[in-house]
Amino acid sequence: MSKPRPSDRHDAPDPDDTFEEIVDEATQRDPDLAVIEAGSRTLRAHSGQPQGEAAPARPADPETDQALRAVEQELAGRWGETKLEPSVTRIAALMDVLGEPQRAYPSIHITGTNGKTSTARMIEALLNAFELRTGRYTSPHVQSITERISLDGSPIEPERFIETYEDVKPYVEMVDAQQPYRLSFFEVLTGMAYAAFADAPVDVAVVEVGMGGTWDATNVIDSTVAVVTPISLDHTDRLGTTPAEIAGEKAGVIKQGATVILAQQPVDAAQVMLKKAVEVDATVAREGMEFGVTSREIAVGGQLLTLRGLGGEYTDIFLPLYGAHQAHNAAVALSAVEAFFGIGAEQARSLDIDAIRKAFASVLSPGRLEVVRSSPTVVLDAAHNPAGAKAAADGISEAFSFSRLIGVVGTSGDKDARGLLEAFEPIFAEIVITQNSTARAMDVDELAAIAVEVFGDDRVQVEPRLDDALEAAITLAEEEDEYAGAGVLVTGSVITVGEARLLLGRG
């Protein structure tokens, strides 16, 4: 963490002197970033001194459930989330015929590779704590499609989801008829979210990109705050094969004059983001310089944090989530909300500490190192790329004292399965390879072959059905008395985790 900023004190030096100090710091950190940061405004130069249910179940009413399934089926008939025609032409056309609902409220736009959904949930909880009505749009869902659109911290009611779909459907069909390609599954859902937020109405929308940024369907909003969570390699066939290339796509969410909350990044990714900030005269706050995690310690059910925000230090914050990565997500979320309220650039004050503590203590993030069963302990984590797997492995090693950990892994076919397995290899005593029920799932035999290369044949068991895999892993965890402290981690895909959550009675 950096020392208290000069502008936090009553004897603050001249802004030009402060700016020279920033350039000097940047030069000392990395010479290649110095020129970029000199041209980019940073919050250091301007600054002074309730969450809802986790994941909904199917509707209890049979008629509502049937109607929701009909909507899901219609949406499933469109291009899936992995088939893309990279442009915002169709979603812009839909927004136009809907009357530009996305401009009815300010928004916070979140991109990055890992941590987007957890960060969005934290931002939402913080805004709710200050009595703002929120709309949150995230993807993919863990159990129910309605999770993707949340109002005031809770997933949209199934009846309202169905009603919103029926409201936008005629306009969707109108756009379909005018475009070379029909609107995709994700584009229709994005239009539904923006329409639902305008109808609510919300005070602010918290929007997570689906993929990338520049041509992502969500990128028809003019967000005042852009959040960039850590960038690593994922979707390399569409976004690029290096962090810099991927950052180039994700930088598209940074709008003219916006504030950018930049989590710690690989240097080449940071360079791209800062160059973009220069181009659009955006203000940048960087983790580790303008904000960050001052301290953290393990606590029962989570961790206790001290965070340095744009407006000062926030102490004794309990976060009921595990892992250092969630602490960093919390610092990013806090700074994003401060920036939304103008703290750092326009106001020299801190947010109410009691509201901050209450908000963070309420945060839920299903499928992110989530404990869903005891005796033996079963943990779910939606890690689906090597960086996410490394964070999950570090988090579970730190927060749980398992004497023996069994992995249940089912990945999607387009992911770096070897990299993910290698990240988990040091913490798994044995691994059960499986697959989820979707067409995107990697073939169980193909995944098992990779697992044998990584773990060795004697540590790998194969169970094509997820329910059988869960039972096998629990049996392995329970099989010997000496392993009374054994646990199970289910991971590899959001879909695998969602299906496991239902099988384990959390739906």
* Residues pairing with 155 in the sheet: 150
Residue 80 has what pLDDT? 73
Please give the structure tokens belonging to residue 245.
């290339």
> Given a cut of 80, is residue 85 above it in pLDDT?
no
HSE value, Cβ hemisphere, 13 Å, CA-based, for 294: 17
H helical segments located in 112-157 = 116-129
> Given a cut of 90, is residue 16 above it in pLDDT?
no
* Residues pairing with 286 in the sheet: 262
Residue 83 has what pLDDT? 63
Residue 375 has what pLDDT? 84
User: DSSP E strands: which ranges in 165-203?
Assistant: none
% residues pLDDT > 70 (the chain): 84
> Given a cut of 70, is residue 400 above it in pLDDT?
yes
> Given a cut of 50, is residue 6 above it in pLDDT?
no
pLDDT digits 0-9 by tens, 419-458:
999 999 999 999 999 999 888 899 999 999 999 999 999 9
Calpha distance 490→498 (Å, rounded): 10
Q: What is the mean pLDDT of residues 464-480?
A: 92
> Given a cut of 90, is residue 142 above it in pLDDT?
no
* Residues pairing with 154 in the sheet: 151
| R_g of the chain computed on alpha carbons | 23
Nearest Cα to 250, choosing from 104, 336, 383, 260?
260
Confidence of residue 21 (pLDDT cuts 50, 70, 90): very low
Contact 13, 6 (CB under 8 A): yes
| Selected residue with higher pLDDT from 74 and 141 | 74
pLDDT digits 0-9 by tens, 42-76:
554 443 333 444 567 788 889 999 999 999 999 99
Residue 34 has what pLDDT? 45
Q: Which residues contact 314 (CB under 8 A, 6 or more apart)?
A: 306, 307, 308, 334, 350, 351, 353, 356
Chain centre distance of CA 340: 18
Please give the structure tokens belonging to residue 77.
């008939």
Calpha distance 199→206 (Å, rounded): 16
Q: What is the pTM of this model?
A: 0.86
| Region of poorest pLDDT, from 17-31, 379-393, 487-501 | 17-31
Confidence of residue 362 (pLDDT cuts 50, 70, 90): very high
> Given a cut of 50, is residue 36 above it in pLDDT?
no
> Given a cut of 80, is residue 169 above it in pLDDT?
yes
List the helix and strand counts (H, then E) for the chain: 17, 18
User: Which amino acid appears at position 219 of this protein?
Assistant: N
Cis bond leading into 464, ω under 30°? no
Calpha distance 322→373 (Å, rounded): 16
| Region of poorest pLDDT, from 53-62, 225-234, 483-492 | 53-62
Q: What is the mean pLDDT of residues 367-390?
A: 92
Q: Which residues contact 24 (CB under 8 A, 6 or more apart)?
A: none
| Region of poorest pLDDT, from 80-94, 284-298, 355-369 | 80-94
| Selected residue with higher pLDDT from 6 and 201 | 201
Confidence of residue 461 (pLDDT cuts 50, 70, 90): very high
Across the chain, mean pLDDT equals 87
> Given a cut of 50, is residue 37 above it in pLDDT?
no
Confidence of residue 86 (pLDDT cuts 50, 70, 90): confident
| Residue 292 region by backbone torsions, left for phi larger than 0, else alpha for psi between -120 and 50, else beta | left
> Given a cut of 70, is residue 325 above it in pLDDT?
yes
User: Which amino acid appears at position 319 of this protein?
Assistant: L
